[in-house]
Amino acid sequence: MVVSDCHLAERPEVRYICGMRFAPALLTAIVALPVPAMAGFNTGNEVVTACKQDRFGYCLGYTTGLVDAITNEPGTKGQICLRESLTAGQVRDVLVKWLDDNPGKRDYTASSIARVALQEAFPCR
């Protein structure tokens, strides 16, 4: 039987085997599909709660990651100028203070809040 004649097969097991010839291509197509990123994973509410509770390790790690991501984004050069002596604790303090001063904006994404807080606290002169 030629592969193109699979649809003519009368035995179910032959039709099944013939149908399997598409499985590798189908699997490859499914795996190659892009998965949408989860935008805005954390909000300011979640960050301020973690930073004010006894989750300082999480808070420091999260805020440090935000700073690294924000300051290395294309197009942000010249918008935020961090001092070399700046510590992760100081960055945490800046972010928590901004959240305390702007409680109405805590539902915004943590990354957008961190960008604004850092731009205000460490502008390039």
Q: How far apart are CA 95 and CA 12, in angstroms?
A: 65
pLDDT for 82-106, tens place per residue?
Answer: 888 999 889 999 999 999 999 999 9
Structural domain tally of the chain? 2
In this structure, is residue 37 part of a structural domain? Answer: no
In this structure, is residue 80 part of a structural domain? Answer: yes
25: containing domain: 3-32
pLDDT for 57-79, tens place per residue?
Answer: 888 888 889 888 888 888 777 88
Residue 5 Cα to chain centre, angstroms: 48
In this structure, is residue 22 part of a structural domain? Answer: yes
Q: Indicate whether 63 and 111 sit together in one domain.
A: yes
Q: Classify residue 25 as exposed, middle or buried by CB count within 10 Å of its CB (0-12, 13-18, 19+).
A: exposed
Q: How far apart are CA 123 and CA 100, in angstroms?
A: 20
The confidence score (pLDDT) of residue 12 equals: 55
Q: How far apart are CA 74 and CA 62, in angstroms?
A: 20
Task: Looking at the chain, list the stretches that DSSP marks H as alpha helix, in order from N- to C-terminal side.
Answer: 12-19, 23-32, 44-52, 56-71, 88-101, 110-121
Q: How far apart are CA 95 and CA 7, in angstroms?
A: 64
Give the global pTM. 0.64
